[in-house]
A and B are shown apart, each in its own frame.
Chain A
């Protein structure tokens, strides 16, 4: 019989109870949280799609590894396991563990960027951009134009636009560009992949100008799955082979292990250059921990080493991406506007088209997040004007072309029935979208405001009318 549906290549070994809430409970909770889903208590949340970062379920092998944690301060056996897993699957020579991805970004930015430098990348990411700016650099977006159009059906919407990159080099000179930051997949564009051909071309161009390329490898294995699906010459290659080739076009990577590597905490910086590795080891001691633990418990390095091996298994990735596609198809079928095609780690609802009656100054994606929570207890994350913040020079709000609500799917945590509930709630909201009310700030922090901002409905006291 022809297999029509995907199924998880695992069974459940341990469960975590969920608390059911009533609509009245949720209305109270969202009001207390200032209509910001970041400020909800997790016990008030039914299905938590706030992020796919650090929220995955570990395997029994990983839990066994947790028990084998070698908590020695120096020279822990778990570090050497992690180092050899990174060398084997990503192919980089030197591995510096960090407590999570932003620790690696911090060190790379501090070591490589000088005041006045430009750092091109295929779309910004919140914490990456702030680290580059703190180091004195300026981020320059060189992603293809299609990435900014949620409706454009294009197989590799994460690709770098080589003309934009060439123009930047001509404008500022290669000497002012310490490296290109290559994201695979591109989170802010909707989890969109880059093609292998594009990575190869970027590497060739950058090498010609002596510009290094650092991969944000957070979801690189998911990217490799799309390459296998969509780039014909890779159809018969294993994910591990594709990953090795992708990394071979770069000089190193920053990694948040909380995504692809299937762990709850941990990250690393990996580089090939001996001198850069030496400098990074000296710096990691100050900010994170000695270079053989980087601020992680030994057990967490072990779980990451095992998670890396699990992440490149085709069956795992097929089920992972399959689940995201399943949710996406249900929502798309009912005409709900989403970023197309559906990406690797979540569904991104297009809030501008979902809520055309709410002007951008009233933060439609934020309002949609609050309304979705009130309707069903599903927690999602705004990725639009609130996340983009204000222009530091003019003080005006940035209004990026994409005003999105991200439903990020944790790995191996939720079942098909959870996805069905989520789809039902999104579709029901779309059908009664006129009842959703826009928001205004009641508290606005200066930096990374989306984490802790508070809002209130522009009229009445409910974000989702009865």
Chain B
């Protein structure tokens, strides 16, 4: 059989409320042309994020019912710990309420003024946390990542020579650790090869620097390695996952992606001294070390989710369904970042709407029109999110000039939408493509001091 079907059937559904174009026009204006400020109830297909929006399995719901809510030493924690130890090989596992809490604890301990932290590409909250500590976040992607049309199989790779240059330039003592984000979210959900990870590891070994993974989408990355890295085709995803983690000294993780959970995260560490300090900070800001600010039931859902995500039938379905949308959009002449990533399609808004200058946020204009035309909620990943000092920045310029890529991300929640939902999304995109000349730029009329994309407000030009 050539068709890849979902390796599951539906057990519980959530009704979708339909809206008219007139209603959506009014909603859009009331929300200041920022889709983060639209009520979920007013959205037909919600592709804002793949974070925490997945559908849990019946086994996970059974875990939810089984949650042990004891404050200390809950059985749910020990089940969770054993599963993660087996999956990653890490001994020390701290649960947190979600990924950004893991990052905050880590960077509060090892960041600080004068420090420099390289990454293949930092994501928005990661960069915000690093900069909040006073450190500098540096992105070191390979050159191919900058070209949306280039079909490099591992566009998420870190530029290893650039890493060595950075170390030579600033000195190893100012670099507390090196981070590799798998898959690379701000670069289009692109994978990092095992070969690249090994190369980064050996640079880290040479300079005695710790290597950390931002491991939100580790399973999707491992599946790409199996598919695209010839030497890895014969290994199981589980083996590849284990090797990826074995190359690292620690990892931050949001379980809301590949943990197939609606809430939760973790911090994995090898260093016993760092563990002690992280545990103290965890207790103060998150919760006791055996619950980390989560309900016991959420630890159960994570334990089961991390098991289900390395199932290769699931991953084949997951990656193929994203790729399917990419193929259909390409047929409809919508320019997207190639090849499609693991968790999302990234529309190249600058190429789609060349008549809108970058100062008028072409990505945001596309996001607004997707909602107006079809009630589809996407997110801008360009000059609004990364454009200016004081906000998060993939390619932030100190002079406030726009980011390099103007993208619109259609993030796919896991196991939530069917192929017919995706066909509808493709239709909405195609309709937008046909009226692209009518799209208007936007001007920002309210700008919050940090992470401005969440609460900024706009007016149409």
> Is A265 in contact with B129, judged by CB distance below 8 angstroms?
no
Q: Closest B residue to A63 by CB, please name it.
A: B65
> Is B101 in contact with A287, judged by CB distance below 8 angstroms?
yes
Contacts of B36 in A (CB 8 A): 74-75, 290
Which one of A51, A71, A287 has the greatest number of beta carbons of chain B within 10 Å?
Answer: A71
Separation of A299 and B55 alpha carbons in the complex (Å): 13
A387 CB → nearest B CB, Å: 13
> Is A445 in contact with B38, judged by CB distance below 8 angstroms?
no
Contacts of B262 in A (CB 8 A): 69, 71, 297-299
> Is A74 in contact with B40, judged by CB distance below 8 angstroms?
yes
A18 CB → nearest B CB, Å: 11
Q: Closest A residue to B41 by CB, please name it.
A: A77
Write out, one digit per residue, whether chain B residues 31-47 have a CB within 8 A of any chain A CB (1) or not (0).
Answer: 00001111111110010
Separation of A45 and B97 alpha carbons in the complex (Å): 25
Separation of A102 and B12 alpha carbons in the complex (Å): 34
Supposing A73-B53, A445-B280 touch, asked if A295 and B37 sit within 8 A by C-beta, the answer is no
Supposing A99-B293, A127-B284, A445-B280 touch, asked if A80 and B73 sit within 8 A by C-beta, the answer is no
Given A38-B73, A72-B43, A74-B35, 15 additional A-B pairs, CB 8 A: A40-B73, A42-B75, A51-B71, A72-B48, A74-B36, A74-B37, A75-B42, A99-B294, A103-B285, A127-B284, A264-B296, A286-B128, A291-B454, A297-B262, A448-B284
> Is B72 in contact with A66, judged by CB distance below 8 angstroms?
no
Contacts of A14 in B (CB 8 A): 65
Supposing A285-B451, A295-B101, A297-B263 touch, asked if A99 and B70 sit within 8 A by C-beta, the answer is no
Does B455 count as interface, using CB distance less than 8 angstroms? yes
Which one of A38, A42, A288 has the greatest number of beta carbons of chain B within 10 Å?
Answer: A42
Does A34 count as interface, using CB distance less than 8 angstroms? no
Q: Closest A residue to B262 by CB, please name it.
A: A297
Size of the A side of the interface (Cβ < 8 Å), in residues, is 62
Does B297 count as interface, using CB distance less than 8 angstroms? yes
Which one of A80, A100, A295, A446 has the greatest number of beta carbons of chain B within 10 Å?
Answer: A295
Q: Which of A37, A50, A55, A288 contacts B97 (CB 8 A)?
A: A288
Does A43 count as interface, using CB distance less than 8 angstroms? yes
Contacts of B43 in A (CB 8 A): 72, 75
B89 CB → nearest A CB, Å: 23
Write out, one digit per residue, whether chain B residues 102-136 have a CB within 8 A of any chain A CB (1) or not (0).
Answer: 00100000000000000000000100110010000
> Is B263 in contact with A295, judged by CB distance below 8 angstroms?
yes
Supposing A40-B73, A285-B451 touch, asked if A451 and B288 sit within 8 A by C-beta, the answer is yes
A190 CB → nearest B CB, Å: 19
Does A300 count as interface, using CB distance less than 8 angstroms? yes
Write out, one digit per residue, whether chain A residues 263-289 have a CB within 8 A of any chain B CB (1) or not (0).
Answer: 011000000000000000110011111
Supposing A51-B71, A75-B40, A290-B36 touch, asked if A300 and B450 sit within 8 A by C-beta, the answer is no
Does B324 count as interface, using CB distance less than 8 angstroms? no
> Is A71 in contact with B288, judged by CB distance below 8 angstroms?
no
Contacts of B104 in A (CB 8 A): 286-287
A-B contact pairs, 20 of them (CB 8 A): A39-B72, A40-B72, A44-B73, A45-B70, A54-B295, A72-B40, A72-B46, A73-B51, A74-B40, A74-B48, A100-B293, A102-B285, A103-B285, A286-B451, A287-B100, A288-B97, A288-B101, A290-B36, A297-B298, A299-B262
B451 CB → nearest A CB, Å: 5
Separation of A296 and B261 alpha carbons in the complex (Å): 12
A458 CB → nearest B CB, Å: 24
Does B157 count as interface, using CB distance less than 8 angstroms? no
> Is A297 in contact with B52, judged by CB distance below 8 angstroms?
yes
> Is A73 in contact with B285, judged by CB distance below 8 angstroms?
no
> Is B293 in contact with A286, judged by CB distance below 8 angstroms?
no
Q: Is the interface of B mostly helix, strand, loop or mixed?
A: loop
Write out, one digit per residue, whether chain A residues 297-319 have a CB within 8 A of any chain B CB (1) or not (0).
Answer: 11110000000000000000000
Does B287 count as interface, using CB distance less than 8 angstroms? yes
Separation of A37 and B65 alpha carbons in the complex (Å): 25
Separation of A53 and B78 alpha carbons in the complex (Å): 20
> Is A43 in contact with B75, judged by CB distance below 8 angstroms?
yes
Does B69 count as interface, using CB distance less than 8 angstroms? yes
Write out, one digit per residue, whether chain A residues 51-76 have a CB within 8 A of any chain B CB (1) or not (0).
Answer: 10111100000000011011111111
Separation of A299 and B128 alpha carbons in the complex (Å): 27
Supposing A69-B262, A281-B455, A300-B295 touch, asked if A75 and B288 sit within 8 A by C-beta, the answer is no
> Is B71 in contact with A53, judged by CB distance below 8 angstroms?
yes
Size of the B side of the interface (Cβ < 8 Å), in residues, is 63
A418 CB → nearest B CB, Å: 15
Separation of A134 and B285 alpha carbons in the complex (Å): 11
> Is A100 in contact with B287, judged by CB distance below 8 angstroms?
yes
Contacts of A41 in B (CB 8 A): 73, 75, 78
B14 CB → nearest A CB, Å: 8
B343 CB → nearest A CB, Å: 14
Q: Which of B65, B69, B279, B284 contacts A54 (CB 8 A)?
A: B69
Contacts of A290 in B (CB 8 A): 36, 454
Does A106 count as interface, using CB distance less than 8 angstroms? yes
Contacts of B450 in A (CB 8 A): 282, 285-286
> Is B73 in contact with A296, judged by CB distance below 8 angstroms?
no
Separation of A459 and B129 alpha carbons in the complex (Å): 49
Chain A residues 82 to 122 lying within 8 A of chain B, measured CB to CB, are: 99-100, 102-103, 106
Contacts of A69 in B (CB 8 A): 262
Contacts of B70 in A (CB 8 A): 42, 45, 48, 50, 55
Separation of A43 and B72 alpha carbons in the complex (Å): 10
Contacts of A299 in B (CB 8 A): 262
Does A228 count as interface, using CB distance less than 8 angstroms? no
Q: Closest B residue to A50 by CB, please name it.
A: B71
Separation of A71 and B414 alpha carbons in the complex (Å): 12
Does A130 count as interface, using CB distance less than 8 angstroms? yes
Contacts of A48 in B (CB 8 A): 70
Does B247 count as interface, using CB distance less than 8 angstroms? no
Does A452 count as interface, using CB distance less than 8 angstroms? yes
Does A208 count as interface, using CB distance less than 8 angstroms? no
> Is B39 in contact with A75, judged by CB distance below 8 angstroms?
yes
Supposing A73-B52, A265-B298 touch, asked if A289 and B71 sit within 8 A by C-beta, the answer is no
> Is B288 in contact with A38, judged by CB distance below 8 angstroms?
yes
A165 CB → nearest B CB, Å: 28
Separation of A288 and B286 alpha carbons in the complex (Å): 9
Q: Closest A residue to B31 by CB, please name it.
A: A75
Chain A residues 409 to 466 lying within 8 A of chain B, measured CB to CB, are: 445-448, 451-452
> Is A295 in contact with B75, judged by CB distance below 8 angstroms?
no
Q: Which of A80, A295, A445 contacts B98 (CB 8 A)?
A: A295
Separation of A74 and B371 alpha carbons in the complex (Å): 14
Q: Closest B residue to A42 by CB, please name it.
A: B70
Supposing A41-B75, A73-B48, A452-B289 touch, asked if A102 and B449 sit within 8 A by C-beta, the answer is no
Q: Which of A77, A282, A289, A448 contacts B280 (CB 8 A)?
A: A448
Separation of A130 and B283 alpha carbons in the complex (Å): 11
Which one of B49, B276, B287, B297 has the greatest number of beta carbons of chain A within 10 Å?
Answer: B287
> Is A77 in contact with B263, judged by CB distance below 8 angstroms?
no
Which one of B65, B70, B288 has the greatest number of beta carbons of chain A within 10 Å?
Answer: B70
Write out, one digit per residue, whether chain B residues 302-330 have a CB within 8 A of any chain A CB (1) or not (0).
Answer: 00000000000000000000000000000
Q: Which of B12, B49, B294 contacts A265 (CB 8 A)?
A: B294
Q: Which of B51, B67, B72, B101 contacts A38 (CB 8 A)?
A: B72
Contacts of A291 in B (CB 8 A): 454-455
Does B68 count as interface, using CB distance less than 8 angstroms? yes
Q: Closest A residue to B448 by CB, please name it.
A: A282
> Is B100 in contact with A264, judged by CB distance below 8 angstroms?
no
A290 CB → nearest B CB, Å: 6
Does B74 count as interface, using CB distance less than 8 angstroms? yes
> Is A264 in contact with B297, judged by CB distance below 8 angstroms?
yes
Does B167 count as interface, using CB distance less than 8 angstroms? no
> Is B455 in contact with A282, judged by CB distance below 8 angstroms?
yes
Separation of A109 and B274 alpha carbons in the complex (Å): 26
Does B64 count as interface, using CB distance less than 8 angstroms? yes
B277 CB → nearest A CB, Å: 9
Separation of A74 and B40 alpha carbons in the complex (Å): 7
> Is B284 in contact with A264, judged by CB distance below 8 angstroms?
no
Supposing A66-B64, A99-B286, A286-B132 touch, asked if A452 and B71 sit within 8 A by C-beta, the answer is no
